[in-house]
């Protein structure tokens, strides 16, 4: 009951391969809103991940989701 809306990038849902998990998204008590982060947010998060040494462990989807979080 913390929110009515959850923002994510569309590829997060596309990565879900398990049918049961994908179907469970139909009954979550919030609305999923898809939004893409800005180029500036992606650049900022990418540069920071490189500085911390995390860049090689993060997928493109991870970076975009982190950038969206940073942007919001």
What is the domain extent for residue 42?
Answer: 5-71
**Other Cβ atoms within 10 Å of 70 Cβ, number:** 15
Provide the domain count of the chain: 1
CA distances from 26 to 16, 21, 46, 54 (A): 13, 10, 32, 33
Q: Which CATH number does the domain housing residue 35 bear?
A: 3.40.50.1010
Tokens at residue 9, please?
A: 């990038």
For residue range 3-59, what is the model confidence (pLDDT) as tens digits?
A: 899 999 999 999 999 999 988 888 888 999 999 999 999 999 999 999 999 999 999
Strands (DSSP E) found in 21-66: 31-34
CA–CA separation, 34 and 45 (whole Å): 19
């Amino acid at each position: 009951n913390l929110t009515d809306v959850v923002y994510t990038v569309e590829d997060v849902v596309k990565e879900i391969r398990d049918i049961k998990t994908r179907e469970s998204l139909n009954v979550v008590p919030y609305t999923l809103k898809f939004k893409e982060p800005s180029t500036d947010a992606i650049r900022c998060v990418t540069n920071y991940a490189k500085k911390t040494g995390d860049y090689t462990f993060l997928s493109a989807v991870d970076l975009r989701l982190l950038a969206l979080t940073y942007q919001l």
